[in-house]
């Protein structure tokens, strides 16, 4: 947990730098509510309180990074309560939830408070996100997208900062390459085939850098609890994510589909694991060692 939080520091810091104090307040509100809600729930249910495993802290941080900076103060609080109580603790707490709590809460907020959740301001100006612009046919400067000078949620805007964090996680072997690489790879192929722009590099890059794809691919799809444990399962999971995100973005009603894709794929994990239990050592052919 600590490593994932460390890996998210660059993206969080960039969010605060870009969007100002409102981003900082949102992050703090999410973290405090999450940790507090978990602690209270565990006390009330007479379970062992586990604030130091940092999982609630991480859920709060991830949720905050998925919210727009200038949200009303009650939005992060409602979201955090939903994430911790409904998505996580009711199912038995750490390790038992079938859906990523931060994403579950985000989608809950998206559906319930659509206006507040899709109002993005950058430098005091309310505007559309790059993906929304792409849908209308205009593109954003790629350099801005890569470095993070665009509108969006607190944590998704700087591809560079997210990649720095992702590199840290990969080097420390906290996450494996399987899910993110398969996710981004299959998504890219889907966009080339069905995106309607062919091999347009600019369009493809904008799709890859925008809409929280990097945040989702490296930090949320790789969530241990809600992703498959088998190596083959992780590959399949990544491909399913890529295809679903592609479908949601190209054919769906909203510009972005990462959250929906991950949550939907989370539901498939038990099935994926069931069909990808590896062959035990020595169960295959004998003499050639296959």
* Residues at the site binding another protein, with contacts judged by CB under 8 A: 50, 53, 55, 93-96, 176, 224-225, 227, 229-231, 273, 277-290
Report the Cα 57 to chain-centroid distance in Å.
Answer: 15
Of 253 and 282, the one with the shorter C-beta distance to another protein is: 282
Q: Give dist(CA 17, CA 161) in Å, integer.
A: 12
Handedness of CA 196, 198, 203, 206 (dihedral sign): positive
- Provide, rounded to whole angstroms, the least separation between the CB of residue 56 and another protein: 13
As a whole number of angstroms, the distance between CA 261 and CA 268 comes to: 11
Element (H, E) at 57: helix 55-65
Least distance from C-beta 34 to another protein, angstroms?
16
Q: H-helix or E-strand containing 122?
A: strand 120-122
Q: Which is nearer to another protein, 207 or 234 (CB)?
A: 234
Q: Least Å distance between CB 284 and another protein?
A: 7
In the bound complex, what is the minimum distance in angstroms from residue 93's beta carbon to another protein? 7
Closer to another protein by CB, 158 or 266: give it.
266
Closest CA to 272 of 242, 235, 222: 235
3-state secondary structure 31-53: HHHHHHHHHHHHHHCCCCCCHHH
Q: How far is the CB of 213 from another protein (least distance, A)?
A: 23
In terms of CB distance, is 21 or 281 closer to another protein? 281
Query: Residue 143 burial (CB < 10 Å; 0-12/13-18/19+)?
Result: exposed
Minimum distance of another protein from residue 281's CB (angstroms): 4
Q: Give the nearest distance from C-beta 230 to another protein in angstroms.
A: 6
Question: DSSP label at 120?
Answer: E
| Cβ nearer to another protein, comparing 110 with 175 | 175
Nearer to another protein, 45 or 114 (CB): 45
Smaller CB separation from another protein, 157 or 179: 179
Q: Which residue is associated with the tokens 């906290």?
A: 174
**Which element (helix H / strand E) includes 264?**
helix 258-275
Structure tokens at 47: 């379970």
């Amino acid at each position: 947990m600590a490593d994932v939080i460390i890996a998210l520091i660059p993206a969080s810091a960039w969010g605060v730098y870009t969007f100002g104090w409102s981003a900082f307040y949102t992050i703090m509100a999410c973290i405090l509510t999450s940790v507090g809600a978990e602690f209270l729930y565990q006390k009330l249910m007479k379970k062992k309180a586990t604030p130091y495993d940092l999982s609630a802290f991480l859920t709060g941080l991830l949720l905050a990074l998925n919210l727009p900076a200038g949200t009303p103060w009650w939005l992060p609080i409602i979201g955090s309560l939903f994430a911790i109580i409904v998505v996580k603790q009711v199912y038995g707490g750490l390790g038992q939830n079938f859906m990523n709590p931060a994403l579950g809460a985000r989608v809950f907020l998206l559906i319930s408070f659509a206006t507040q959740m899709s109002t993005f301001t950058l430098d005091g100006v309310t505007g559309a996100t790059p993906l929304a612009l792409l849908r209308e046919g205009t593109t954003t400067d790629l350099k801005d997208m890569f470095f993070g000078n665009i509108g969006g949620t607190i944590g998704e805007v700087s591809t560079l900062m997210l990649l720095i964090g992702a590199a840290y996680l990969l080097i420390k072997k906290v996450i494996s390459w399987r899910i993110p690489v398969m996710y981004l790879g299959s998504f890219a192929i889907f966009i080339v085939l069905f995106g309607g722009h062919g091999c347009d590099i600019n369009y493809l890059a904008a799709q890859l850098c925008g809409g929280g794809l990097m945040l989702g691919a490296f930090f949320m799809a790789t969530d241990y609890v809600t992703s498959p444990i088998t190596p083959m399962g992780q590959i399949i999971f990544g491909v399913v994510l890529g295809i679903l995100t592609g479908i949601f973005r190209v054919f769906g009603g909203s510009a972005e589909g990462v959250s929906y894709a991950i949550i939907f794929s989370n539901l498939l994990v038990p099935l994926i694991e069931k069909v990808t239990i590896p062959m035990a050592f020595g169960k295959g052919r004998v003499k050639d060692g296959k």
